[in-house]
Structure 1
Amino acid sequence: MEKSDLIVNIIVTILAICSLLPLFWLVTNSFKPSAEIYKMPPDILPKSLYLDNYKELFSNQPALRWTFNSFLVSFVTTGLSVILSAAAAYAFAKLKFKGKNIIFAIFIASLMIPKETFIVPLFKIIVAFDWVDTYQALIVPNLATCFGVFMLKSFFETIPDSIRESAKLDGANEFTIFFKLMLPIAKPGIGALFILNFVTFWNDYMWQLLMARSKGMNTLTVGVAGLMQEISPNMGLKVAGAAIAAMPMIVIFVLFQKYFTKGITAGAVKE
């Protein structure tokens, strides 16, 4: 290993450790009573494994329902949005239809519009459908993601047209070509988009806060934020809630890491 590579590796390692320190501090503090969390100077590790924070979180708060809501909303929204994005990206990359370039330009332009600008009209639509405080309100408005279409279009463009043409000569229709040929080839990009979308929907706070009116419909993000706003000296309970909310994202990233690292770069270079 060259000296320059060694220096770069050391710097990257130090930065990685620094980025993990807040997570380490969050998890360790969740196993401390509130008095130890406020202690100065603080203890790096808890003196004993204090589990009352988690017991109180799941016994006195509907944390299990919040967790279920978060997983249901995040997985369903992510799965459907990835399928819709892949279908639209395939159409833009491989099919020929009138106005394709103009429509795709509109898609790209919409990425520059902040979500906050259309929350009010979107909220009025949800109220008109009488979907407030339902799973439909948390899932349906997030299904169409222009970023996913933009990202996957480059993956489908790298796939040779000869594959599609050969399948059509064998009698396959567009649905068969898309689901049985194109999707498996674009698996790295789909995996990367799955991670990005899952993290986005799991952390979505504003829209979930507007739509979930009852405490039982809250997701973990909204429920934990509510704990933070309560006037309570039990900081350990709040930290435990934040730790529970952070763990699934880490697990999802670890499980799909190989797809994420391949997907971010695989579609960047065209054959």
Structure 2
Amino acid sequence: MRSIGKHSVLIIGSFLMIIPFLWMVLTSFKTYGESMQVPPTILPSEWNFNNYVSVFQSVDFLQYYINTLIVTVGRTLGQLFLCSLAAFAFARLEFPGKNIIFLLILSVLMVPLQVILIPNFGIITQFGWVDTFYALIIPGVFSAFGVFLLRQFFMGIPKELDDAAKIDGCSYFGIYWRIILPNATPALTALGIFTILAAWNDFLWPLVMTNSEGMRVLSVGISNFQGQYSTDYPLLMAGAVLSTIPMLLMFIFLQKYLLAGIALGGVRR
């Protein structure tokens, strides 16, 4: 009986979570009149695929996709490399002030982006990076959360492997590259997925840092569908569905690596 109650709660919770997604998909196939109908209809009377064609005709949606892909790949590769290097130093090396520096890095997690948005914008302006990929990628190539996640995992890898590598003449970077990284695939995959999701869905930073239409990313470009007095909701939902599909497919195929990375990285000391 207890398991039945737990499963019932989980089923209800899953249903409540999936309702907005289903509503988005169904609305993308409706006409504008159907989307504004009161009381609202659940299923469209006619499945209208013109909204998906109009998405590419109304704005340069393909360019949004390309820009988002470039930003996502750049941030992900940068975080995997830099965060793993920092995590290796905090997990395997001894140097003065290591714990203090690590605590300072973790303190970044307590500062919301909105608090440092204006100072960051001033720095990017002085560099002349506004409306460029530099502004969209470089500030996101390091993550305090990524350092914490990978450090916890690296500390669980036996240090005897390091000693054996040193005997064979391996340098610290060789230990990092040949010993630590191959044994940290689940944690690296989890961090990669988290970074991809964050970069793909990022809205505030690209909105502030880009001016031209050619530098817009998906999250900002879709917001352009919203009108001043009325919004074409089927067109807006069609754009949202198209932007969601890559992330949905990624989670479907990589969910076992994500869950393994969370489980392993969360219990390491």
Give 1:7 shift.
2.1
**Residue 184 of structure 1: CA displacement?**
2.0
Indicate whether 1:184 and 2:182 are aligned: yes
Runs (4+) off by over 6 Å: none
Give the alignment of 1:240-255 within 5 angstroms. 240-255=238-253
Deviation at 1:84, TM superposition (A): 0.9
8 Å CA contact 1:34–1:233 kept in 2: the answer is no
- TM-score normalised per structure 1: 0.94
Q: Does the 8 Å CA contact 1:85/1:152 hold for their aligned counterparts?
A: yes
**Alignment partners' CA distance in 2, 1:268 and 1:206:** 29
Residues 134 and 243 from structure 1, CA distance in 2 versus in 1: closer, same or farther, beyond 3 angstroms? same
Which stretches in structure 2 are left out of the alignment for 5+ residues?
none
Alignment of 1:43-192 (within 5 A): 43-192=41-190
Give a deviation string over 1:37-87, Cα, whole Å, max 9, x none: 122333322233211111111022111111111111112112211221111
Amino acid at match of 2:28: S
- For the residue of structure 1 that corresponds to 2:77, the secondary structure is helix
- CA separation of 1:13/1:4 partners in 2, compared to 1, >3 Å: closer, same or farther? same
RMSD after superposition:
1.6
The aligned amino acid for 1:213 is: N
Count of residue correspondences: 269
TM-score, normalised to structure 2, is: 0.94
Match in the other structure for 2:5: 7
Aligned equivalent of 2:33: 35
Q: Deviations over 1:81-119 (max 9, x none)?
A: 122111111110001111111110111122111112221
Contact 1:192 1:256 in 2 (8 A): no
Q: Per-residue deviation at 1:258?
A: 0.9
CA distance in 2, matches of 1:110, 1:28: 40
In the alignment, the residues of structure 2 paired with residue 56 and residue 230 of structure 1 have an alpha-carbon distance, to the nearest angstrom, of 19
User: CA distance change for structure 1 residues 233 and 84 in 2, over 3 Å: closer, same or farther?
Assistant: closer
2: CA distance, partners of 1:46 / 1:181: 56
Q: Is the 8 A contact 2:71 2:133 kept in 1?
A: yes
Retained in 1: the 8 A contact 2:28–2:234?
yes
Mapped contact 1:86–1:152 kept (Cα < 8 A): yes
Q: CA deviation at 1:257?
A: 0.7
Code of the aligned partner of 1:14: I
- 1:195 is aligned to 193
- Give the match for residue 14 of structure 2: 16
Q: What is the letter of the counterpart of residue 128 of structure 1?
A: Q
One-letter amino acid of the structure 1 residue matched with residue 100 of structure 2: I
For residue 102 of structure 2, what is the amino acid of its counterpart?
F
2:235 aligns to what? 237
Query: Does the CA-based 8 Å contact 2:225-2:232 persist in structure 1?
Result: no
Once the two structures are aligned, what percentage of the paired residues are identical? Answer: 37
Q: Per-residue CA shift, 1:185-216, capped at 9, x if unaligned?
A: 11111111112121111221111011110011
Change (3 A) 1:103 1:68: same
